[in-house]
Amino acid sequence: MSVTNALLNTRNHYQVETVEVDDETSFTLAYSSQIKLLPANGGIRWRAYASRQLQEEEAIMLAQRMSLKHGLYNTGFSGGKIVVNSKRSPKEQPAVLEAIGELLNRYGGTMFTGCDINTGNREMDYLRQFTPWILNAMDSPQVDTSVATGYGVWSSIKKVLILRLNHLSRARVAIHGMGKVGSEVAKQCLLFGCEVVGYDINPVAVFPDGVQRVTEDQLLWQPSDVLCIASLSGILTLENVELLNTRWVISSANSPFGNLQAEQRLLARGVHYLPDYVSNAGAVICDSIEMAFTERYNQMNQEQVNAYVHSVIGAKTEELLQRAHLLDCDVGRLLQPIKSALMVA
What is the full per-residue pLDDT of the chain (345 aa) written as tens digits? 444 455 556 566 899 999 999 999 999 999 998 898 999 999 999 999 999 999 999 999 999 999 999 999 999 999 999 999 999 999 999 999 999 999 999 999 999 999 999 999 999 999 999 999 999 877 888 999 999 999 999 999 999 999 999 877 789 999 999 999 999 999 999 999 999 999 999 999 999 999 999 999 999 999 999 999 999 999 999 999 999 999 999 999 999 999 999 999 999 999 999 999 999 999 999 999 999 999 999 999 999 999 999 999 999 999 999 999 999 999 999 999 877 776 655
pLDDT at residue number 168: 75
Backbone angles phi, psi at 314, to 5 degrees: -60, -45
* Local structure of residue 83 (DSSP, 8 states): E
CB 112 within 8 A of CB 287: yes
Sign of CA dihedral 289, 295, 298, 303: negative
* Beta carbons of 327 and 334 less than 8 angstroms apart: yes
Q: Which amino acid is at 99?
A: A
**Would you give the end-to-end CA distance of the chain in angstroms?**
35
Q: What pLDDT, on the 0 to 100 scale, is given for residue 150?
A: 98
Contacts of 146 (CB under 8 A, 6+ apart): 115, 179, 180, 181, 184, 283
Dist CA 224 CA 210 (whole Å)? 16
Q: b/e string for 282-291 if b means 16 or more Cβ within 10 A?
A: bbbbbbbbbb
Residues contacting residue 6 through CB under 8 Å, at least 6 positions apart:
17, 18, 19, 20
- The candidate with the shortest Cα–Cα distance to 158, out of 265, 271, 268, 306, is 306
Q: Is 42 exposed, middle or buried (0-12, 13-18, 19+ CB in 10 A)?
A: buried
Cβ proximity of 156 and 313 under 8 Å:
yes
- The predicted model scores a pTM of 0.93
Burial of 256 (0-12, 13-18, 19+ CB in 10 A): buried
